[in-house]
Structure 1
């Protein structure tokens, strides 16, 4: 039975390898959402993950029993804006609806915990299939681009995508 809940410090050592497998290296190529053809460094580390689980930020994890299937980070940016990042699913488990469930949980957290009325994310602009997937889930390009957060050669650009959030309880 699949459960989505906020990650704790105790979860992070088991979560970190899932993130790395999903984003980098040959194992990531088993899935379709990887960055392994664009980047070869590590995606994150335990210290960074630790900063994402308290205060105005949450990492939500999808579990089947004790097995971590994937995660997403949702963070408040203030003024009704939340930021979604670090969405990943173990490459061997992709295309089973886990990512869709993680996004829904992140959007609910943004709305209900952070009082956000919109969610923003950045995606490497070369990731056309991934951007199209997000667009099918209600995100739209804002027209804004940002530089990749670390220097890489050749340089990468991030497309900014935004989705308005609506309180489903207020809809007829």
Structure 2
């Protein structure tokens, strides 16, 4: 099953987006999918109130991907000067090896370019997620060297190991 429809999120999508993101990032023990971080971080990745707040942000978009009418992927894109921040890329675990993540990332990058005039994009990844870092590096992102402690105050979960860090990746959008 591949993504066949894209659109911007609306208020009616809030609960479904929160459910998808939490399933992709923090599924129950033994769940399928290679991108989750359940062994590194506990708790919800996001709740419906925070998704709703994203919809109200200026210079920001929450893009959704559907397959056969079912929400299977999402990504948040936010303008930051002449760059854009891409975050919360989430794909239904059943589609995580079917190209849906690549498709949503490409959609986010194109949106950043066309809607926000971004000359580059950046994102933050948990440093211990080596397979995810490799995924982004294969797509042209580079490590910036900007590494910091896991953001406890951000409300995105609680680290299950000491010293967990996040790092910034960046990609030039070319000319």
Do the two structures share a fold, i.e. TM-score over 0.5?
yes
Q: CA contact under 8 A between 1:56 and 1:76: conserved in structure 2?
A: yes
Aligned to 2:59: 56
Aligned to 1:155: 163
Aligned to 1:170: none
Match of 1:40 among 26, 42, 46: 42
Structure 2, unaligned runs of 5 or more: 154-158
1:13-162 alignment runs, 5 A limit? 13-26=15-28, 29-54=31-56, 55-78=58-81, 80-150=82-152, 152=159, 154-162=162-170
Count, aligned residues: 166
Aligned to 1:7: 9
In structure 2, how many angstroms separate the alpha carbons of the residues matched to 1:27 and 1:72?
Answer: 24
Structure 1, unaligned runs of 5 or more: 168-172
In structure 1, how many angstroms separate the alpha carbons of the residues matched to 2:88 and 2:139?
Answer: 16
In structure 2, how many angstroms separate the alpha carbons of the residues matched to 1:112 and 1:28?
Answer: 40
Q: CA contact under 8 A between 1:29 and 1:36: conserved in structure 2?
A: no
Deviation by residue 1:30-81 (Cα, 9 ceiling, x = unmatched): 0000010011111101111112224211111110233100111111111x11
In structure 2, how many angstroms separate the alpha carbons of the residues matched to 1:27 and 1:83?
Answer: 30
Aligned to 2:156: none
Pair 1:70–1:16, CA change in 2 (3 A): same
What TM-score results when the alignment is normalised by the length of structure 1?
Answer: 0.90
Deviant stretches of 4+, over 3 Å: none
What TM-score results when the alignment is normalised by the length of structure 2?
Answer: 0.88
CA displacement at 1:28 relative to structure 2? 7.5
SS at match of 1:166: coil
